[in-house]
């Protein structure tokens, strides 16, 4: 059977702020920054304003009056530095460039941007623009007479008298060097402070993750009762063995078809090759199922160690590697998969929730392979801290239009006939999945719509590591 698959990926994004470290903007600290930067801006404006007042330059006097208002108002942009760091850098840089304000507020804005963003190109571009704005503001200040220039009065006091002079005469190589060093101090200092804040936040998140793992292990070990252990082992047995056994069943069916083809044409080398490959697949899958059965038996023999064995592992984590392995098994069985996967933000997701989502994907694909063999399967996964976790699996039922489970309340599947209760041991997968999802404050619905298409919809809140 020829295997066909279609992989769809979301459009590229310029910034993944959902994975950026979360650094809250503390209100008291924000107001302190606003006050300090407003005062330094007023000092810079007052130096230049006093000079233009003394020479009677009305146009510049009016500009400095406007600059006084801007000097007080612009620092309030720091209130938005947590959610709009790039915008804050652009606003303060533009204000410093046009009104020759102090560069301290540029340093504060750059620090907030570096600490809270991940887009390297945007960050470099904004830092370069902030450096240019700071350089222009400082050079413009140096071009004023010494006693009318805030920075010149600090570095060159006594180098000239109070007479009106050509400001360019002060821009010696030494003055240019001072300007460049000041820009490097402001912008570079902001980058350093922002990097320290960012690394500190990442370190705290890593510590929180490790603390969460320890707490999860302790709570699981202390709180699991005998019934909880039995239920967890039963769910684990179903999730692992049902998946492996369904693959064995599909390959066994295909193997039977290959045998019939070989009887009709014993010399067909392609059929012989397919038959050998299917045999190897069956041997490998049977060995894997045996290992899984041994793992379940070990948990039954050692209930006290079940919590550790049931903990999320690499093979059940919601990672690209684990999903790729699962999808490869499904495609190998001849199922056509149509995927849309968006799993950004996983670094902060609680591993226990990630395991539930992985098991939901596994159960949905196993269910489709068992009850609708040969039908294409569409799967969509989205994991975002802002909107939560959503999983949708759909597949036509073909000639096997039997709904395994309770009718769905999902409006996408409005007409689902109620099925007769089953008397065998099947049909436990989806109800068990629904129970686990709802136990984590999520929603799970499934069923066949009027067109004979089976739907499985899972919604879970994004639970961060705490």
At residue 85, does pLDDT exceed 80? Answer: yes
Flag whether the pTM goes above 0.75: no
DSSP annotation of 398: T
Last residue of a domain, one of 195, 215, 235: 215
Name the band, by pLDDT with cuts 50, 70 and 90, for residue 456: very high
pLDDT exceeds 60 at position 73: yes
| Residues 52, 126 within the same domain | yes
Looking at 15-103, list the stretches that DSSP marks H as alpha helix, in order from N- to C-terminal side: 27-55, 58-73, 85-99
**Sequential DSSP letters for 355-382:** HHHHHHHHHHHHHHHHHSTT--EEEEEE
Domain identity same for 343 and 293 = no
The C-alpha angle with vertex 402 and arms to 400 and 404, in degrees rounded to 5, equals 125
Instruction: Supply the pLDDT for residue 236.
Output: 62
**Residue 68 within any structural domain of the chain:** yes
Is it the case that residue 71 has pLDDT exceeding 70?
Answer: yes
Mean pLDDT of 241-258: 65
- Answer with the one of 172, 196, 215 that is the final residue of a domain: 215
44 and 190 fall within a common domain: yes
Same domain for 61 and 200? yes
Provide the domain limits for residue 151: 17-215
Closest C-alpha to 193, from 265, 247, 127:
127
Q: Is 419 helix (H, G, I), strand (E, B) or coil?
A: coil
Mean residue pLDDT of the chain comes to 75
User: Which residues, in sequence order, are bridge partners of residue 392?
Assistant: 380, 457
Whether 9 maps to a domain, the answer reads: no
Residue 405 burial by Cβ neighbours in a 10 Å radius (0-12, 13-18, 19+):
buried
Residue 2 has pLDDT above 50, yes or no: no
126: confidence class by pLDDT, cuts 50, 70, 90: very high
Q: Does 293 share its domain with 174?
A: no
304 shares its domain with 317: no
Q: Which two tokens stand for residue 458?
A: 């899972």
Distances (CA, A) of 87 to 41, 77, 120, 347, 423: 20, 9, 16, 26, 63
| CA atoms of 59 and 336, how far apart (whole Å) | 73
Do 205 and 158 lie in one domain? The reply is yes
User: How far apart are the two ends of the chain, measured CA to CA in Å?
Assistant: 47
């Amino acid at each position: 059977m020829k295997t066909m698959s279609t992989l769809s990926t979301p459009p590229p994004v310029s910034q993944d702020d959902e994975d950026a470290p979360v650094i809250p903007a503390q209100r008291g600290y924000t107001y302190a920054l606003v006050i300090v930067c407003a005062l330094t801006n007023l000092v810079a404006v007052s130096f230049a304003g006093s000079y233009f007042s003394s020479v009677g330059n009305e146009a510049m006097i009016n500009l400095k009056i406007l600059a006084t208002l801007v000097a007080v108002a612009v620092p309030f942009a720091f209130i938005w530095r947590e959610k709009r760091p790039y915008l804050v850098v652009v606003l303060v840089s533009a204000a410093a460039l046009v009104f020759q304000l102090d560069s301290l507020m540029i340093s504060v804005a750059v620090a907030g941007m570096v600490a809270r963003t991940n887009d390297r190109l945007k960050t470099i571009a904004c830092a370069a623009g902030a450096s240019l704005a700071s350089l222009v503001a400082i050079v413009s200040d140096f071009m004023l007479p010494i006693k009318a220039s805030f920075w010149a009065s600090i570095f060159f006091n006594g180098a000239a008298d109070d007479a009106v002079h050509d400001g360019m005469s002060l821009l010696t190589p030494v003055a240019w060097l001072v300007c460049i060093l000041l820009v490097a101090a402001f912008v570079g200092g902001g980058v350093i402070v922002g990097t320290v804040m960012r690394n500190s936040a990442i370190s705290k998140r890593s510590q929180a993750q490790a603390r969460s793992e320890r707490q999860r292990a302790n709570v699981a070990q202390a709180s699991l009762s005998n019934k909880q252990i039995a239920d967890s082992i039963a769910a684990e047995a179903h999730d692992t063995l049902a998946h492996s056994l369904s693959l064995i069943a599909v390959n066994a069916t295909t193997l039977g078809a290959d045998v019939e083809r070989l009887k009709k044409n014993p010399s067909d080398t392609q059929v012989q090759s397919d038959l050998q490959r299917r045999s190897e697949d069956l041997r490998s899958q049977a060995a894997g199922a045996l290992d899984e059965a041994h793992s379940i038996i070990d948990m039954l023999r050692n209930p006290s160690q079940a919590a550790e064995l049931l903990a999320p592992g690499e093979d059940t984590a919601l990672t690209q590697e684990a999903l790729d392995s699962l999808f490869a098994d499904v495609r190998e069985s001849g199922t056509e998969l149509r995927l849309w996967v968006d799993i950004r933000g996983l670094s902060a997701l609680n591993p226990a929730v990630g395991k539930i989502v992985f098991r939901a994907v596994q159960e949905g694909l196993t269910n489709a392979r068992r009850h609708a063999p040969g039908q294409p399967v569409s799967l969509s996964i989205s994991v975002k801290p802002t909107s939560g976790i959503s999983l949708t699996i759909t597949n036509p039922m073909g000639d096997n239009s039997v709904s395994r489970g309770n009718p769905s309340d999902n409006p996408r599947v409005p007409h689902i006939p109620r099925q007769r209760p089953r008397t065998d041991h099947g049909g436990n997968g989806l109800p068990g999945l629904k129970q686990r999802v709802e136990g984590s404050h999520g929603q799970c619905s499934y069923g066949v719509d009027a067109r004979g298409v089976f739907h499985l919809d899972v919604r879970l809140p994004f639970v961060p590591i705490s």
